[in-house]
């Protein structure tokens, strides 16, 4: 059975982006995994001005991505950050020729406002947004031949899934797609402000039938209501959240229980809490059952090292080198997840950025305080050739590691003079260990 330390570290990795150097020790002292869960779930999740740097398109592609990593790594309410990142992989839009800083910032602000909002409300907002309307060809869609992209993805990826998880029957038909596409017509954009408006002359006001019922002259609100009333609405997103947070497939009983909590409008916070309090959330099977994506590698590393200033880390280069820019998913399905990232290319690509970040602080006394890496400095000050390997693993939140990892880290720490470069290199080695790659 996993140690209490490993369980607490696991809670931090799943409800946030990993523990900082003292989070595991604190969690154990407070009572272990369940206390850590209660702590993270109870933290205030205020909505605020996220202070996106913005700027020109080229500048913002770098600065806004850096700001997102900073928020994910340093925010006190880690659950807010984790769930917002999951939602970013579900309600997907992508930076492009038309979708730029303003649209991406608006989209992220919406997703980050999930605490206190229902999924139905978020979905309604996102579907009407300029970013989503442009990304899925909703702008200018009009009768008699409306574009079907948004209608299809609204059901397939955003709310219902293709089939009922319990029966395997189809959740919708091509006729449903066509009829909902009619209901979603009429949105036009004021290009001077990029504000969306519903233009009556471009909207199909005819009677429509979809998802099993005649809907009359249905529009967007009617579509959202119909989707939320579909039986699979209570299962699809809870299933996604469960897999992301637990790392395993839910049993039918677990999914039915979450469906009850989710309700008719989609209580995101209640489902996240219900998942975290299920016994399998901290089971041995769940621990290290997921693989970090490149963005998660960067964010987790920043948390371990205690990074407080991000502007000098060239995160545009880092994320590009790792083949995952958070604003540029390959398609509407979002980024791949799990084992898709566990391959030689990721390991090789990570070796450069992790060295760059870990050695960004030389350890010299004249390095400005905001550019220092407190964890590496602590490792150097408190460690020795004999103890540095074990201390590095502890500071990185890695417990119950394999004998191979433990032997390799200990051997390197003890292989020469214990100076600042060796301390930094020992930590760098830990951040490339198999146990750190998994989540």
Evaluate if residue 424 carries a pLDDT over 80.
yes
Q: Taking all residues of the chain, what is their mean pLDDT, rounded to a whole number? A: 96
In angstroms, the CA 9 to CA 33 distance is 8
Work out the pLDDT band at 85, boundaries 50, 70, 90.
very high
Q: Phi then psi for 215, rounded to 5 degrees?
A: -115, 0
At 286 the pLDDT is 98
Residue 287 in any domain: the answer is no
- Whether residues 64 and 23 share a domain: the answer is no
Evaluate if residue 54 carries a pLDDT over 80.
no
- Whether residues 118 and 138 share a domain: the answer is yes
Q: List, in order, residues 6 or more apart from 43 with CB less than 8 Å away.
A: 76, 77, 78, 79
- Whether residues 272 and 336 share a domain: the answer is no
Residue 273 in any domain: the answer is yes
Average pLDDT over residues 202-206: 96
- Whether residues 232 and 341 share a domain: the answer is no
- Whether residues 274 and 186 share a domain: the answer is yes
Work out the pLDDT band at 167, boundaries 50, 70, 90.
confident
- Whether residues 93 and 188 share a domain: the answer is yes
Cα 311 to Cα 76, 94, 177, 315, 321: the distances in Å are 20, 23, 45, 8, 17
At 387 the pLDDT is 99
61-76 pLDDT, tens digit per residue, is 789 999 999 999 999 9
Evaluate if residue 429 carries a pLDDT over 90.
yes
Residue 122 in any domain: the answer is yes
- Whether residues 190 and 126 share a domain: the answer is yes
Cα 420 to Cα 297, 376, 385, 398, 408: the distances in Å are 23, 8, 11, 21, 19
Domain interval for residue 328: 294-437
In angstroms, the CA 76 to CA 67 distance is 15
- Whether residues 261 and 119 share a domain: the answer is yes
- Whether residues 201 and 345 share a domain: the answer is no
Residue 288 in any domain: the answer is no
Residue 2 in any domain: the answer is yes
Evaluate if residue 376 carries a pLDDT over 80.
yes
Last residue of a domain, one of 282, 309, 338: 282
At 231 the pLDDT is 97
At 176 the pLDDT is 98
Count of structural domains within the chain: 3
Residue 183's closest CA among 153, 156, 213, 210?
210
Last residue of a domain, one of 282, 304, 326: 282
- Whether residues 312 and 377 share a domain: the answer is yes
- Whether residues 83 and 232 share a domain: the answer is yes
- Whether residues 156 and 237 share a domain: the answer is yes
Evaluate if residue 355 carries a pLDDT over 80.
yes
Residue 289 in any domain: the answer is no
Residue 433 in any domain: the answer is yes
Taking a C-beta distance cutoff of 8 angstroms, is the pair 100, 345 a contact? no
Taking a C-beta distance cutoff of 8 angstroms, is the pair 363, 380 a contact? yes
At 97 the pLDDT is 80
At 114 the pLDDT is 97
250-309 pLDDT, tens digit per residue, is 999 999 999 999 999 999 999 999 999 999 999 999 999 999 999 999 999 999 999 999
Last residue of a domain, one of 255, 282, 309: 282
Q: Can you give the pTM of this predicted structure?
A: 0.97
């Amino acid at each position: 059975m996993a140690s209490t330390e490993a369980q607490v570290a696991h809670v931090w990795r799943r409800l946030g982006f990993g523990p900082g150097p003292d989070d595991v020790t604190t969690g154990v002292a407070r009572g272990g995994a369940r206390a850590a869960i209660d702590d993270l779930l109870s933290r205030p999740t205020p909505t605020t001005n996220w202070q996106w740097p913005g700027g020109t398109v080229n500048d913002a592609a770098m600065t806004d991505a850096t700001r997102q990593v900073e928020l994910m790594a340093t925010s006190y309410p880690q659950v807010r950050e984790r769930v917002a990142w999951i939602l970013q992989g579900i309600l997907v839009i992508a930076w492009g020729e038309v979708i730029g800083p303003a649209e991406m910032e608006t989209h992220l602000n919406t997703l980050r406002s999930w605490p206190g909002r229902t999924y139905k409300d978020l979905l309604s907002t996102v579907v009407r947004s300029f970013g989503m309307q442009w990304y899925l060809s909703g702008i200018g869609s009009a009768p008699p031949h409306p574009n079907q992209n948004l209608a299809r993805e609204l059901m397939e990826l955003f709310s219902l899934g293709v089939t009922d998880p319990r029966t395997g029957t189809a959740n919708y038909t091509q006729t449903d797609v066509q009829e909902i596409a009619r209901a979603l017509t009429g949105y036009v954009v004021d290009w001077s402000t990029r504000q969306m408006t519903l233009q009556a002359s471009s909207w199909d006001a005819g009677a429509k039938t979809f998802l099993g019922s005649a809907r009359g002259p249905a529009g967007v609100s009617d579509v959202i209501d119909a989707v939320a009333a579909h039986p699979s609405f209570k299962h699809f997103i809870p299933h996604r959240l469960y897999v992301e947070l637990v790392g395993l497939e839910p049993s039918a009983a677990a999914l039915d229980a979450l469906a009850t909590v989710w309700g008719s409008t989609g209580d995101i916070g209640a489902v996240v809490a219900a998942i975290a309090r299920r016994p399998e959330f901290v089971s041995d099977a769940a621990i290290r059952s997921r693989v970090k994506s490149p963005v998660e590698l960067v964010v987790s590393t920043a948390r371990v090292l205690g990074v407080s200033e991000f502007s000098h880390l060239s995160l545009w280069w880092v994320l590009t080198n790792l083949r995952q820019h958070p604003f540029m998913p390959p398609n509407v399905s979002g980024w791949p997840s799990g084992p898709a990232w566990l391959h030689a290319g990721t390991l090789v690509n990570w070796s450069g950025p992790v060295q760059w970040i870990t050695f960004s602080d030389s350890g010299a006394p004249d390095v400005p305080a905001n550019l220092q890496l407190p964890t590496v400095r602590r490792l150097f000050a408190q460690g020795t050739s004999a103890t540095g390997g074990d201390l590095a693993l502890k500071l990185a939140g890695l417990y119950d590691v394999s004998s191979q990892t433990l032997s390799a880290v200990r051997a390197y720490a003890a292989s020469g003079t214990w100076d600042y470069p060796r301390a930094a290199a020992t930590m760098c080695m830990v951040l490339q260990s198999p146990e750190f790659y998994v989540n």
